[in-house]
Amino acid sequence: MGAPRLILIGSAPSSGSTLLADLLDSTSFTACGPELEFFCNRALYDLVAYKRNPSLKSELFSPRTTSIFPRYERLHHYGTSKVRWMEMIQEAQHLEGLIERFSSSFLQYREKPQDGIVFEKTPQNVNAIDRWIESSDRAFIFLVRDPLYVFNSLLNRGWGTYTAFATWLLYAAKCWKYLDHPNVRVLRLEDLVKEPFVRAASLIQLYTKDHLITPDALRQGFEQNSYRKSASKKLDTWGIQETAGDIHDPNAKEVSADRKALFQGLLGTKVSEEYAQRYGLAAVSMLEACERFGYHYSATGEAYIPSPSGDEWARFARKSLRGMMEGHGSLFDFITYARALELSR
């Protein structure tokens, strides 16, 4: 019997990653628990230093996310605990050893075979995509959704206009250099919801030769999946509120004319050179990114970038302060966060 495999999933927020996780957990040989925010921490990839100080954190490229917050309280859904996770870190001689211990423990808890697949879905996993795919046998799934609907969803969740504007593009720009990497698979939410069981079964099958899953078997597993219903919290504002066998297209919700007009302003922007250099992103434009993922828009209105709100400035300040206290960044990074975008035309 082979060793277990761990595959990371990343995406911009409000891109449907919870639905994907529900589907990927619904076989007899795969498991996907709640978000952990472990593998998005770039400090983890220097395991020797991390073993000496497991509280180390790396910076995050996303301006709204103020820090990395490991979700130790969710480990009971993995059949383990923070104490045991720390023991796994100390026991491991290298990162592959930690991955194997973690994956094996979770599969055992779920009563699934030891040559099964563990998917870890945390949107911020994008933060460490380059470090993760350094090893040839590590796979990464980048889930993407039409940016208009991500923008609309983030506003519905109470995000400020500036960060709702910038977020989709910044996540795309962080993955940009690796989209054609053999270890990276790009999946559009729009394609997934059209044929959820066909698409998810096909995706799973890419990563195993030892097990077989059909769309019908996946559908049955999805309908009977009590684990994900208890382990995964869904927000009331989400467009996908699936029940057994009933998955709706989240993009079917109407976007107001005012928000569409706001979105038009975004189409004339790009990632600023300053921000790209600071956080290791590609300085791509919104139209370039839309086209790359098959979303066809044209910039017909006046391009503009909204000023951050008072709440957003407060978040930037907290993020800067935390970064300085955690040993990375500067107290003045809040200025850089407010300059994530620039006009492209």
Q: What is the pLDDT of residues 194-236, one digit of tens each?
A: 999 999 999 999 999 999 999 999 999 999 999 998 887 655 5
Same-domain pairing of 202 and 336: no
Q: Per the structure block, which two tokens stand in for 101?
A: 């211990």
Average pLDDT over residues 178-205: 97
* Average pLDDT of the segment spanning 47-61: 95
pLDDT tens, residue by residue, 288-322: 999 999 999 998 888 999 999 999 999 999 999 99
Secondary structure letter of residue 93 according to DSSP: S
131-142 tens-digit pLDDT: 999 998 999 999
Q: Which two tokens stand for residue 191?
A: 């394609």
| Residue 256 structure tokens | 């107001």
What is the rounded distance in angstroms from the CA atom of residue 267 to the CA atom of residue 257? 16
Task: Assess whether 191 and 328 both reside in one domain.
Answer: no
CA–CA gap between residue 255 and residue 239 (Å, rounded): 12
Rounded CA-CA distance 254/104 in Å is 44
Can you give the CATH number for the domain in which 78 is found?
A: 3.40.50
State the chain's mean pLDDT as an integer: 94
CA atoms of 107 and 282, how far apart (whole Å): 37
72 lies in the same domain as 90:
yes
- DSSP at 285: B
Q: Which of the four pLDDT bands, split at 50, 70 and 90, describes residue 345?
A: low
CA distance 96 to 101: 9
Do the Cβ atoms of 131 and 38 come closer than 8 Å? no
Using the predicted structure, report yes or no on whether residue 86 has a pLDDT greater than 50.
yes
pLDDT at 242: 47
User: Which residues have C-beta within 8 Å of that of residue 342, sequence separation ≥ 6?
Assistant: 269, 270, 271, 272, 273, 305
pLDDT at 301: 81
Q: Is residue 166 part of a domain?
A: no
Q: Give a yes or no: residue 169 inside a domain.
A: no
Is residue 167 domain-resident? no
Query: Judging by DSSP bridges, how do beta strands 341-343 and 269-271 pair with one another?
Result: antiparallel
Task: Specify whether 248 is located in the same domain as 269.
Answer: no
Return all residues near 236 (Cβ < 8 A) that are at least 6 apart: none
Domain termination site, one of 252, 273, 298: 252
Determine, yes or no, domain membership for 116: yes
Q: What is the pLDDT of residue 244?
A: 39
Q: Average pLDDT in the 172-200 region?
A: 97
- pLDDT at residue 300 in the model: 84
Token output for 301: 């209105």
- 304 and 212 in a common domain: no
Show the domain range for 296. 257-343
Identify which of 154, 199, 204, 184 has the alpha carbon closest to the alpha carbon of residue 25.
204
User: Which of 252, 268, 286 is a domain's end point?
Assistant: 252
Answer yes or no: is 178 within a domain.
Answer: yes
CA 342 to chain centre: 24
Give the pLDDT of residue 163: 97
216 and 331, same domain (yes or no) = no
Co-location of 187 and 63 in the same domain? yes
Same domain, 189 and 292: no
First to last CA, the chain: 56
How far apart CA 166 and CA 309 sit, in angstroms, is: 14
Looking at residue 275, its pLDDT comes to 97
pTM: 0.95
Greater model confidence, 240 or 212? 212
Return the SS3 of 29: coil
Q: Answer with the residue of higher pLDDT: 344 or 221.
A: 221
The verdict on 153 and 84 lying in the same domain is yes
Contact 68, 60 (CB under 8 A): yes
φ/ψ (deg, to 5) at 265: -65, -35
Shared domain for 296 and 155, answered yes or no, is no
User: Are 306 and 330 part of one and the same domain?
Assistant: yes
Q: Residue 156 domain-assigned?
A: yes
Q: Which of 233, 252, 271 is the last residue of a domain?
A: 252
For residue 168, tell me if it sits in a domain: no
CA-wise closest residue to 333 among 129, 67, 151: 67
In a domain, 36, yes or no: yes
Give the closest residue to 282 by CA, choosing from 175, 184, 147, 185. Answer: 175
Backbone angles phi, psi at 341, to 5 degrees: -120, 155
In the predicted model, is pLDDT for residue 238 greater than 90?
Answer: no
Q: Which of 244, 339, 237, 233 is nearest to 283 (CA)?
A: 339
Give 1's pLDDT tier (boundaries 50, 70, 90). Answer: low
Domain count, the chain: 2
- Distances, alpha carbon 181 to alpha carbons 115, 199, 266, in Å: 25, 20, 28
Most confident segment among 74-88, 239-253, 300-314:
74-88
* 244 and 263 share one domain: no
Please give the pLDDT value at position 278: 95
φ/ψ (deg, to 5) at 251: -85, 5
